[in-house]
Amino acid sequence: QVRGPGLGVVGVSKGAEVALAMATFLPQVVATVWINGTAFLHGNPLVYKDLRIPPIPYYIERMIFTEMGALDNSAIFADPRDPAYSASAIPVEKIRGKVLFVVGEADRSFNSKLFAELAMARMPPESGRVLSYPGAGHLIEPPGSPLCSISSMRGTPRPVVWGGEAQAHAKAQDHSWQEIIQFLELHLGPTATMKL
């Protein structure tokens, strides 16, 4: 059930990229939780009304295969600070709501910490907050979820490395979950007022 009037969006990985774009262009999105995503379009353009944001291409020739035969994607992304990619930045300076950036510093898929920092540098300081967790991998999920450091993914020839150290990742999931709930309740209202 949607309580309204404002909406909250939670996204992980590519979904975090989409969530950030939604927060940028949809004024009804007042609270966004971005978990290990990017702040630039990658792979596919974003088309919204008359706007088209070009993507930064993936450099699949840079794929690395680990000793176990898993795919390490960390090198396929170009440096977003390269001026050639400035048009691919999601214009986060237009965000009217609030954004909580959740970063796993041992993310082996994206340089999530860099993307969060680049987004925050373009946003008003009061618009966003970064939670950064050393030892946490890419897939930060609710507490009690096991660390998923490698898994299959549709469209990839081999399992993908997500990173993370078990104990540090578990602590990040416990702490970030409480912060996410508080963030959403602060900007959307407490769930106790909702009647199903």
The predicted-structure confidence for 151-175, as pLDDT tens digits, reads as follows: 888 877 889 999 999 999 999 999 9
CA angle in degrees (0–180, nearest 5) for 18-181-42: 15
The domains found in the chain, sorted by start residue, are 7-188 (3.40.50.1820)
Could you read off the pLDDT of 25-45 as tens digits, one per residue?
A: 999 999 999 999 999 999 899
What is residue 191's predicted lDDT score, i.e. its pLDDT? 65
pTM: 0.91
Dig out the tokens for 179 from the structure. Answer: 């912060």
Q: Which has the closest alpha carbon to 17: 47, 37, 32, 44?
A: 37
Active-site positions? 13, 107, 138
Closest to 19 measured CA to CA, from 38, 6, 47 = 38
Q: How far apart are CA 43 and CA 74, in angstroms?
A: 14
Q: Is the bond leading into 5 cis (omega within 30 degrees of zero)? A: yes
Nearest C-alpha neighbor of 101 from the set 38, 152, 50, 168? 38
